[in-house]
Structures are given as C-alpha cells and as structure tokens.
Amino acid sequence: MAINAGEQAGRRSILASGRTAIEAKGVTKLFQGAGQDPVRALDDVSVAIRENEFFTLLGPSGCGKTTLLRLIAGFDFPTEGEILLHGEDIAPLPPFKRPVNTVFQSYALFPHMTVAQNIGFGLEMLGKPRAEINARVAEMLALVRMEELGKRRTSQISGGQQQRVALARALAPAPRVLLLDEPLSALDAKLRKDMQIELKRLQHETGITFIFVTHDQEEALTMSDRIAVMSKGRILQVGTPRDIYDRPSQRFVADFIGETNFLEGEVTGITGREAQVRLAGGAVITAGLPEGFSPSGRVTVVVRPEHADLAKPGATADLSGKIENVVYFGTDTHYHVRLDGGHAFTVRQQNARGGGMGFSEGEAVGIALEPHAAQVLRD
Ligand code: ADP
Ligand code: MG
C-alpha cells in the first residue's frame, strides 16, 4: 500500500486521478422472495467510482446499498450487468482474490484474539511470513493510533477502538478499494464525529478508494468527494456534495437531503440552462435546469431556505407573502411565510450581530432569491 501522506496532503482527491477504480454497468440484482415476485434490490445501476475517491452511497434503509457493496466485494453476483475493476470484469474473481476489503457495520472482530492478532488475521490467511505480518501490524496500529493496545483483547477495548481495529484489519492487506458499510452507525454522536475525521485522514494518508455507505445525509455531505443518492434500487443522482445539495435534480434527492421549499409553476420560457417559471401567485422566477432537461408545462422548483432573504414588500422582491410563524434557533431564525399564491415557504436567516431582521408574525414581506437559488426538478 502506498502511504504517501505528503503527496496526498494537499490534493483535492476528486482531481487526483480521473481513472475509474470500480464501475457498475447496468447492474440489476433480483432476490427470489418466498413464492411471490422477486425483490429488485438493484435496478439497472450504472456508476463509475474513481481511484482515490471518497465515494458515498446514500439512501434510506432497503434502497440497495449493502447489496451493491456485496456485489463489488464478490459475496454475491449480479442478476444482470457487470462489475468492472480498472476496466476488467471481476466476476471470475472470488472475494479473497479481489483487491477489495470490507468494514462491516458490526465490526465482526474475533473477541478471543488480541488487537494485533485481529489486524494480522487476513495476512495470516494469505500465508504471509511472520516478520512481514508483524511489521505490517505495527504499521497499521500506528496508522489508527493504537500502538499501545496491540496486546489487548478486542473484548477489552471501547467501541471506538474496536472500530479502529476493524479499519486496521481491513487495511492491512493493502486493498485498492475499501468498502465501508455504515461503519459509524453503532457509535454515539461524539465518537461518530471523531471517527468521521479519522476516516477522512486514513483515506488521505493511504490514497485508497473508499466506498462508504450511510443513510445519514449530514455524514455524506461532510465526508464525501462524491455522493450517489439511491432510492428503491436505483441511483438517482451522482455528484459532489455541493452539486447534490445546491442542484438536486429530483424530488427524492431534494427532499432526502436538507430542508427544501417546493414550488409548483408553469414554464413560460427557456434560455440556455435556465427556465422562467410562473408560480401560482403570478410571480415569475428564473430557475436552473438539470443537465439535458428541457421541460414544458408544469414543473416543481426547489429553493433552499438559506438561499432566500426577507425584504420589505415591493417590486424588487421575487416573491411576496405574509409571515405566519417565526422560530428562533440561536444561530439562525426560520420564517414560515405563506406566499400570495398559497404555497408555504421557509426563509432561514442567520442571526448575525444579535439584531435579527426585525420581521414579525403577521407582517407582509417580500422574498429575494439569491442568484441560482431556484432549481427545476426532473420529476
Ligand atoms: P440497504 O443496505 O440499502 O438497507 P439492502 O441492499 O440490504 O438495502 O437491501 C435491498 C433490498 O433487497 C431490500 O428490500 C432487502 O429486503 C432485499 N434483500 C437484501 N438481501 C436479500 C436477500 N438475501 N434475500 C432477499 N431479499 C434481500
Ligand atoms: Mg445495508
């Protein structure tokens, strides 16, 4: 394994190498249920994951995340389609011959073994010489900052430490790709935050491709180079955290990640990648279009609450309405506005300089949208 911290340190890993590490091409996975129709766990999934990337599969329970990881690891096979590793179909390779390793949600450590024995276990199975195993275990203990704990049994260390041992064990055989299936979900909130930082550090220092699974949108946004948002066996959108957050292309993505205002309207014109949309109250706003999408007729537009500002009502405002409710959150204030067309719309303002905006319940207000705040959805 190339531990090239210096070289990795300054990189934006997404740009490090444009090469594809793992690619799924038209992958469908059916599970035969008891007598009834088969479960379509994956439905025509195609995605290319780049070398050195921190790539996250994000979606609710049951959307097919674990199934996709298991196919990449070789624990199961696609019903249709193929999985490529550096461009080659890996179907003939059994799991232990794939340069891929998995960290399971449950850690699956051996309780009767020491930390060091757990970390060295995979290397022993590969028949590596003792001296090489010892050196590698020491290296891994240093990598996860557990040099002092090699001789402890894994039943005698904390949950966070067990998580580190599971990581060290998976990294020891120097996989090209590390699969992490909700590895932090068993940890409490504080430890989880620490381990998020730890995982990012490990990925930077090792330069390994990480394919990380979570159902936690915040975890995905803060850790990933790119995210694939999944629902019902399909990948709906792939992009950087900023792409996914600022330019969700579908209702599910906009709804699943962060808070969003949904507005219904009618397309009245298209200029380049933007549409003019007339909302129910008569206001016409400009909204970005998803790649390759040229709608006509009725569309849904989304606006993040923090991408809009309250203003005095007047001709310069993009929208107008009446404040129904004001909720103070310390760092910011949420204004729940009923737009003139009847839609509910939330504006989130930061409480800078202690002042607040001086808008109150019952007041008529204008809403100014920041440039590129509005985005048309595909569905
Ligand atoms: P996730 O990891 O996103 O929660 P999974 O990949 O585990 O989702 O499961 C996707 C779907 O496939 C679910 O509906 C699940 O019940 C089903 N499934 C997964 N494994 C099997 C199996 N071995 N047999 C039958 N159905 C399965
Ligand atoms: Mg799962």
Question: Could you please report the per-residue DSSP string of 111-134?
Answer: TTSBHHHHHHHHHHHTT--HHHHH
- Going by the DSSP 8-state scheme, the letter that residue 228 receives in this structure is E
Separation between Cα atoms, residue 275 and residue 208, nearest integer Å: 41
Whole-angstrom distance between the N-terminal and C-terminal Cα of the chain? 44
Q: How many angstroms separate the CA atoms of 290 and 245, rounded?
A: 13
Question: Ligand 1 mean position to 168 CA, how many Å?
Answer: 27
Contact 245, 258 (CB under 8 A): yes
pLDDT > 90: percent of the chain: 76
pLDDT at 220: 96
Q: Residue type at 375? A: Q
Q: Sorting pLDDT into bands at 50, 70 and 90, what band is 354?
A: low
Instruction: Output the pLDDT for position 294.
Output: 92
Surrounding residues of ion ligand 2, Cβ less than 5 A: 66
Quote the radius of gyration of the chain (alpha carbons, Å).
Answer: 25
State the burial class of residue 79 (Cβ atoms within 10 Å of its Cβ: 0-12, 13-18, 19+).
middle
Q: What is the mean pLDDT of the chain?
A: 91
State whether the beta carbon of 62 lies less than 6 angstroms from ligand 1. yes
Res 356: pLDDT: 56
Q: What was the pLDDT predicted at 5? A: 36
Confidence of residue 189 (pLDDT cuts 50, 70, 90): confident
Look at ligand 1, atom 10, and give the residue with the nearest C-alpha. 64
How far apart are the CA of 62 and the centre of ligand 1, in A?
6
pLDDT at residue number 341: 87
Are 368 and 318 within 8 A, CB to CB? yes
Residue 161 CB neighbour total at 10 angstroms: 18
Q: Is the shortest distance between the CB of 214 and ligand 1 below 6 Å?
A: no
Confidence category of residue 35, pLDDT binned at 50, 70, 90: confident
Residue 226: predicted pLDDT: 98
| Pocket residue to mutate for ligand 1, from 27, 36, 66, 106, most atoms within 8 A of Cβ | 66
Q: What angle do CA 169, 207, 221 make, to 5 degrees?
A: 90
Q: At residue 18, does pLDDT exceed 90?
A: no
Per DSSP, which regions of the chain are E strands?
20-31, 39-50, 54-58, 80-85, 88-89, 100-103, 177-181, 209-214, 226-231, 234-239, 261-271, 274-279, 284-288, 298-303, 308-311, 319-328, 332-339, 344-350, 364-369, 374-376
Kindly state if the Cβ of 75 falls inside 6 Å of ligand 1. Answer: no
**Are 41 and 30 within 8 A, CB to CB?**
yes
Q: Please determine, for residue 4, whether its predicted confidence score (pLDDT) is greater than 50.
A: no
Q: What is the pLDDT of residue 96?
A: 85
C-alpha 180/C-alpha 183 separation (Å) is 6
Lowest mean pLDDT among 3-17, 305-319, 355-369: 3-17
Q: Is 37 helix (H, G, I), strand (E, B) or coil?
A: coil
Of all ligands present, the nearest one to the C-alpha of 42 is: 1
Ligand 1: does its nearest atom lie under 6 Å from the Cβ of 67? yes
Which tens digit of pLDDT belongs to each residue from 262-315? 999 999 999 999 999 999 889 999 999 998 899 999 999 999 999 999 998 887
Ligand nearest to the CA of 41: 1
Q: How far is CA 21 from the centre of its chain?
A: 18
Region at 344 (left for phi over 0; alpha for psi -120 to 50; beta for the rest): beta
Of 202, 237, 203, 244, nearest to 220 (Cα)?
A: 244
Of the two residues 33 and 243, the one the predictor is more confident about is 243
Ligand 1 atom nearest residue 215's Cα:
3
Residue 307 and residue 254: Cα distance in Å, rounded? 14
2 or 114, higher pLDDT:
114
pLDDT digits 0-9 by tens, 104-127 = 888 889 999 999 999 999 999 989
Within 10 Å of residue 207's Cβ, how many Cβ atoms? 20
pLDDT at 13: 43
Nearest ligand 1 atom to alpha carbon 32: 25
pLDDT exceeds cutoff 70 at 46 = yes
| pLDDT reported for residue 355 | 56
